[in-house]
Amino acid sequence: MTALQEERTTDDLRALAERAGRELEDATALEILQWAAKTFGDRFCVTSSMEDAVVAHLASRALPGVDVVFLDTGYHFPETIGTRDAVEAVMDVNVITLTPRRTVAEQDAEYGPRLHERDPDLCCALRKVKPLEEGLKGYQAWATGLRRDESETRANTPVVGWDEKRGKVKISPIAKWSQEDVQTYVTEHGVLTNPLLTDGYASVGCAPCTRRVLEGEDARAGRWAGRSKTECGLHG
C-alpha cells in the first residue's frame, strides 16, 4: 500500500468514486479494473458468488493475484463450492472465503430451523451482510458482477459508485454488459462457470432460496421466488 492510499479519508474516497463514475462510464470493463488496480492496489478486492468467474478473470488481468472474496453461507450448492475450488486452483487470484459467525446448526439451535423460510432478511443479514461487512474492512474498494440488465433494481448501477453503508468505493465493471456479452467473454477466455447455469438456473444463490427460471423470466426471478424479496442486502 502506498502512502497516498493510506492517507485517504472517507471524503476523499467518496469524491474519487463520484468522479470516476462519470469519467469511466464509457470505459471498457478491463479499463475500469485497471484504474481500480492502479488507484487502490492491494486495498481492492473482487467479491464473487461463484456463479461465474468473469469479473475475477478480468480483475486478475488488471491485478494478478487479486483478492477474490467468496461468502460461504453454509447453504451453497455443491456446484458452487466446486466452482470456488476450481477458480482457486487455476486462476491467478487469491480466494478468500468468509464464513458467518454461526454454523447452520448453531443458527438452527438459536433461531429455529429454516430461518430462510421464516425470515430471509434476518438469515441474509446473519449469513451474508454481516460477514461481508467484516471481511471488507481492510479494503477501500470492492468490485462486483452487478449488471443493469439483470433486474429493475439494478438498472441504474454505476460502473463506479459510492457504497455509503460501508464507506467504500464500489466498482461494477460489467454493469453495462448483457448476458450475451458475458457469454462471449466466457467463450473467448475459457472462463470457469457454475455448472448450474447449464441446468436451468440463470442466477445462483443459496440452495434453499434459488430455483430454475422459466422461459421469459428475468435472470433473478429464481431467487427468493414467490416472495417480495429480490436482493440479499449486500447491494442495498
Q: Could you tell me the smallest distance in angstroms from the CB atom of residue 74 to ligand SF4?
A: 8
Question: In the chain, where do the E strands start and end?
Answer: 44-47, 66-71, 93-98, 141-143, 160-163, 168-171
- Among the listed ranges 21-29, 33-41, 154-162, 203-211, the one in contact with ligand SF4 (CB under 6 A) is 203-211
Cα–Cα distance for residue pair 34/65, rounded to 1 Å: 14
Q: According to the binding rule CB under 6 A, does residue 24 interact with ligand SF4?
A: no
Asked if residues 110 and 73 have their Cβ atoms less than 8 Å apart, the reply is no
Asked if residues 44 and 63 have their Cβ atoms less than 8 Å apart, the reply is yes
Number of residues that bind ligand SF4 (CB under 6 A): 13
Q: Which residues pair with 161 in a beta bridge?
A: 170
- Among the listed ranges 58-66, 121-129, 130-138, 159-167, the one in contact with ligand SF4 (CB under 6 A) is 121-129
Question: How do strand 160-163 and strand 93-98 relate by DSSP bridges?
Answer: unpaired
- Binder of ligand SF4 out of 48, 49, 60, 73 (CB under 6 A): 73
Element (H, E) at 157: none
- Binder of ligand SF4 out of 120, 145, 161, 222 (CB under 6 A): 120
- Cβ-in-10-Å burial (0-12, 13-18, 19+) of 219 comes to middle
- Binder of ligand SF4 out of 63, 124, 141, 202 (CB under 6 A): 124
Q: Could you tell me the smallest distance in angstroms from the CB atom of residue 111 to ligand SF4?
A: 11
Total count of residues recorded for the chain: 236
Q: According to the binding rule CB under 6 A, does residue 146 interact with ligand SF4?
A: no
Q: Could you tell me the smallest distance in angstroms from the CB atom of residue 155 to ligand SF4?
A: 22
Between 186 and 207, CB nearer to ligand SF4: 207
Cα–Cα distance for residue pair 69/47, rounded to 1 Å: 5
Known catalytic membership, residue 232? yes
Q: According to the binding rule CB under 6 A, does residue 116 interact with ligand SF4?
A: yes
**Which residues of this protein are in contact with ligand SF4, per CB under 6 A?**
73, 75, 116, 120, 123-124, 127-128, 205-206, 208-209, 232
The catalytic residues are 232
